[in-house]
Amino acid sequence: MIHNFNAGPSILPKQVFEEASRAILDFNGTGLSILEIGHRTPLFEAVLHEACELVKELMQLNSDKEVLFLHGGASTQFFQIPLNFLGENEKAAYLDAGVWGTKAIKEAKAFGQVDVVGSSKDKGYTYIPKDLQIPADARYFHYTTNNTIEGTEMFHIPDTSVPLVADMSSDILSQQLDFNRFALIYAGAQKNIGAAGVNLVVLDKNFKATAGRKIPSMLDYQQHIANGSMLNTPPVFAIYVCMLTLRWLKSIGGIPAIEKINREKAERVYSMLDNHAVFRPTVAKEDRSRMNVVFVIDDPEKEKAFQQACKEQQFIGVKGHRSVGGFRLSLYNALPMESVDAFCQFASSFR
């Protein structure tokens, strides 16, 4: 059996693969493939509507929230957000807690002033900065909820009156949060929501663009809202896979149910690592991600042997990101407990 620990694109539920594969040949008994139906037909409009409604239901969003499925992935949001919401004479607060936060900061500086209110760069991004002093006059506060590469995660929502903007690409829908607290949430789909090629954006209607600049239509959130995520041809198949994945999540009990499972998966892995002399988790205990478990082996020969053993045992995607090295296990929503237990049994016997 192959155990897929890839960081993204990552594992999806088996039933999603099965239904999506059938739809490639025949979508809902129409004789047409999901890959060839018109995006402005009732066939796809029903898919998009259901996907949006499932997001609202699972996240318990109020009527002030708009749900969009957009092109470009999370990286496009790094500049689309300040383009819309940060004027040249305004400032935004940002948290620098990993590679993705650093990239977001770089893009935002092209549009206005950026106030970095906390950074964990001093220790290689192995912890989440605490006691953040967020300026009350900041246009918004941006942070990454889970740092996929470094293996840290924020489990609380910052206490501030400033509009909150969050990159939730790698832990979206994995734990219960008051999602209505956020002015804008964005997440690349390819980890917990569906297939690569589409980005989820949840935007508060009251969070208005005030930058005072002319915005190209394809980068203007209001244009996307007015056109119902169909300002141009949307990624039909990627949105369809998102809809199937959201259906699956609802069927197993939604976010409360998957959070319980995710906690158990992470606890089993970290317990094994903490009790094995060969492995060393690199992240501060209180900030350890439940989605991306990062650890190292300090002996180069043992590291090489472990990599080879993982390959032989078909544990896929366990090599750490090239920027930090070591190992990484991605425990996204769709990863079954069976894979977690198989890895723990294998790794605990490693010598």
Domain boundaries, the chain: 3-9+254-348, 14-251
pLDDT grade, residue 192 (50/70/90)? very high
Share of the chain above pLDDT 90, in %: 97
Separation between Cα atoms, residue 19 and residue 36, nearest integer Å: 16
CATH 3.30.565.10 fits 3-9+254-348, yes or no: no
Say what the pLDDT of residue 348 is.
95
91 catalytic? Reply is: no
User: What is the mean pLDDT of the segment spanning 204-225?
Assistant: 93
Both structure tokens of 284: 């501060």
pLDDT tens digits, 23-50 = 999 999 999 999 999 999 999 999 999 9
For residue 262, pLDDT over 90 is answered with yes
171 catalytic? Reply is: no
pLDDT grade, residue 212 (50/70/90)? confident
Both structure tokens of 234: 């949307």
For residue 119, pLDDT over 80 is answered with yes
Given the structure tokens 């244009």, which residue do they identify?
Answer: 223
What is the distance between the terminal CA atoms of the chain, rounded to a whole angstrom?
23
For residue 351, pLDDT over 80 is answered with no
Say what the pLDDT of residue 211 is.
81
**Given 65, 96, 171, 191, the catalytic residue:** 191
DSSP one-letter string for 235-271: -HHHHHHHHHHHHHHHHTTHHHHHHHHHHHHHHHHHH
Say what the pLDDT of residue 323 is.
86
CATH architecture, domain 14-251:
3-Layer(aba) Sandwich (3.40)
Separation between Cα atoms, residue 70 and residue 48, nearest integer Å: 12
Both structure tokens of 25: 């040949």
Contact 166, 185 (CB under 8 A): yes
**Given 65, 96, 167, 248, the catalytic residue:** 167
pTM of this prediction exceeds 0.95:
yes
User: What is the mean pLDDT of the segment spanning 64-80?
Assistant: 97
pLDDT tens digits, 146-178 = 999 999 999 999 999 999 999 999 999 999 999
Query: Chain-wide mean pLDDT for the chain?
Result: 97
Given the structure tokens 């909820």, which residue do they identify?
Answer: 145
pLDDT grade, residue 273 (50/70/90)? very high
137 catalytic? Reply is: no
Closest CA to 226 of 218, 235, 214: 218
Both structure tokens of 259: 């959070």
**Given 65, 96, 100, 287, the catalytic residue:** 100
